[in-house]
């Protein structure tokens, strides 16, 4: 794999009209271009049917298999974290490409199977793979992406492939453990000794969301030949970013602008999702928390008025503020990690900008 052009074009653009957001767009584009050929090659190794479903899941084609330049493709945040992880430890970003491919494949696999488990019929404004191709084929496509991710890394050249596979395999185990926890939360009560505490939710988010973001930067650093201590600091940094991201996502799930999120107002409350704001509110145990619990325990669908009331109660009981604080605290910890490790300044700057971008989520 060739060397990746420097990010100078994007991150030090002299035009005053180009702000931080444009700089991040440039970083993402540069990394996507660096990783894309290897990702296409990897997907090309799949059985044609699995390859077709993978291309759909990756947003490369529509359900008829026709190339779809309509922009359903992900931003490639994880791939960029891997490339920047290598650059940050002084290596050429190109060495991180197998890791970047692996994390993008794992991310796609996990969304694909999670949609089956959660019964979510929509993903990026299109039918989820299981809706488009059927549950059985979607299970298979996910398995194929899972296997391909490991294979891509296991067969990658260089002296660090073994360490990289060990790291990714731990991440995959963490992911499924986090998903198990998340699914089991649904079955637990809103109150009493069996209730889900905010700290249990965080532990789930560390595995379900944090592990893969941490693995992305960590794999870049591993493949860049970084010492174990640096890898570990960067992994933790990415994990904190993931937990912060989840907290912001939970805020958006209740108070997000529907025009931006594409989801109904108070959506997570209508679906009675056990997210951080709600769990933090309930954990407070005051009057608003009591009323909120009664509302959430009541059977039948939650109408507009009930959902609006629930949102108000979450806020009154301190759930919104606690979640903002949770996001802030983990974002600080994530940034702290970037400073703690001795990184090359440009890549560290790019990572910092990318962290902010991930959290702003107004895209």
Residues that bind a copy of itself (CB under 8 A): 45-47, 49-50, 113, 116-119, 135-137, 139-140, 142-144, 146-148, 150-151, 154-155, 161-162, 165-166, 169-170, 172-173, 175-177, 179-181, 183-184
| Nearer of residues 43 and 311 to a copy of itself, judged by Cβ | 43
| Nearer of residues 231 and 331 to a copy of itself, judged by Cβ | 231
C-beta of residue 248 within 8 angstroms of C-beta of residue 111: no
Structure tokens, 141: 């496509």
| Nearer of residues 142 and 349 to a copy of itself, judged by Cβ | 142
Tell the smallest beta-carbon distance from residue 148 to a copy of itself (Å): 6
Tell the smallest beta-carbon distance from residue 179 to a copy of itself (Å): 6
Tell the smallest beta-carbon distance from residue 230 to a copy of itself (Å): 21
| Nearer of residues 49 and 363 to a copy of itself, judged by Cβ | 49
Beta strands (DSSP E) in the chain are 122-123, 126-127
| Nearer of residues 29 and 181 to a copy of itself, judged by Cβ | 181
Tell the smallest beta-carbon distance from residue 222 to a copy of itself (Å): 13
Q: Which residues contact 310 (CB under 8 A, 6 or more apart)?
A: 266, 269, 292, 295, 296, 302
Structure tokens, 112: 């694909």
Question: In the chain, what are the helix, strand and coil shares in percent, each to the nearest 5?
Answer: 70, 0, 25
What is the rounded CA–CA span in Å between residue 170 and residue 178?
Answer: 12
Tell the smallest beta-carbon distance from residue 78 to a copy of itself (Å): 17
Tell the smallest beta-carbon distance from residue 143 to a copy of itself (Å): 5
Q: What angle do CA 137, 142, 146 make, to 5 degrees?
A: 145
What is the rounded CA–CA span in Å between residue 309 and residue 321?
Answer: 17
Residue entry with tokens 């650059």: 87
Tell the smallest beta-carbon distance from residue 149 to a copy of itself (Å): 9
Query: Which DSSP helix (H) or strand (E) runs through 25?
Result: helix 20-43
280-177-195-236 Cα dihedral, nearest 10 degrees: -30
| Nearer of residues 154 and 295 to a copy of itself, judged by Cβ | 154
The residue among 108, 60, 55, 102 whose CA lies nearest residue 79 is 102
Q: Which residues contact 123 (CB under 8 A, 6 or more apart)?
A: 111, 115, 129
Structure tokens, 114: 């999670």
C-beta of residue 311 within 8 angstroms of C-beta of residue 288: no
| Nearer of residues 4 and 128 to a copy of itself, judged by Cβ | 128
| Nearer of residues 76 and 210 to a copy of itself, judged by Cβ | 210
What is the rounded CA–CA span in Å between residue 127 and residue 53?
Answer: 12
Tell the smallest beta-carbon distance from residue 113 to a copy of itself (Å): 5
C-beta of residue 107 within 8 angstroms of C-beta of residue 74: yes
Tell the smallest beta-carbon distance from residue 228 to a copy of itself (Å): 15
| Nearer of residues 47 and 328 to a copy of itself, judged by Cβ | 47
């Amino acid at each position: 794999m060739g060397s990746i052009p420097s990010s100078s074009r994007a991150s030090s653009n002299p035009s005053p009209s180009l702000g931080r957001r444009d700089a991040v767009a440039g970083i993402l584009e540069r990394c996507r271009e660096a990783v894309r050929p290897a990702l296409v090659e990897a997907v090309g190794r799949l059985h044609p049917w699995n390859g077709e479903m993978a291309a759909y899941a990756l947003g490369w084609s529509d359900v008829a298999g026709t190339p779809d330049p309509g922009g359903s493709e992900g931003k490639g945040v994880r791939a960029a974290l891997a490339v920047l992880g290598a650059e940050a430890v002084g290596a050429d970003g190109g060495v991180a490409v197998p890791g970047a491919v692996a994390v993008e494949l794992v991310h796609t696999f996990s969304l694909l199977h999670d949609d089956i488990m959660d019964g979510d019929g929509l993903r990026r404004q299109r039918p989820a793979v299981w809706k488009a191709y059927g549950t059985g084929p979607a299970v298979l496509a996910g398995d194929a992406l899972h296997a391909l991710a490991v294979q891509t890394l296991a067969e990658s050249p260089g002296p660090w492939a073994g360490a990289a596979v060990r790291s990714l395999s731990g991440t995959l185990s963490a992911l499924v453990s986090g998903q198990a926890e998340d699914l089991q939360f649904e079955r637990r009560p809103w109150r009493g000794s069996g209730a889900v505490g905010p700290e249990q939710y965080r532990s789930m988010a560390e595995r379900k969301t944090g592990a893969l973001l941490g693995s992305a930067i960590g794999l870049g650093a591993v493949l860049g030949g970084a010492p174990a201590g640096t890898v570990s600091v960067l992994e933790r940094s990415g994990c904190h970013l993931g937990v912060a991201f989840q907290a912001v996502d939970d805020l958006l799930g209740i108070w997000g602008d529907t025009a931006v999120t594409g989801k109904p107002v108070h959506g997570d409350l209508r679906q009675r999702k056990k997210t951080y704001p709600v769990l933090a509110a309930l954990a407070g145990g005051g009057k608003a928390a009591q009323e909120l619990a009664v509302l959430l325990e009541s059977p039948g669908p939650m109408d507009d008025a009930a959902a609006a009331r629930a949102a108000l109660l979450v806020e009154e009981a301190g759930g919104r503020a606690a979640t903002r604080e949770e996001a802030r605290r983990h974002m600080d910890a994530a940034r702290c990690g970037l400073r703690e490790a001795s990184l090359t300044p440009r890549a560290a700057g790019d990572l910092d900008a990318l962290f902010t971008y991930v959290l702003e989520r107004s895209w």
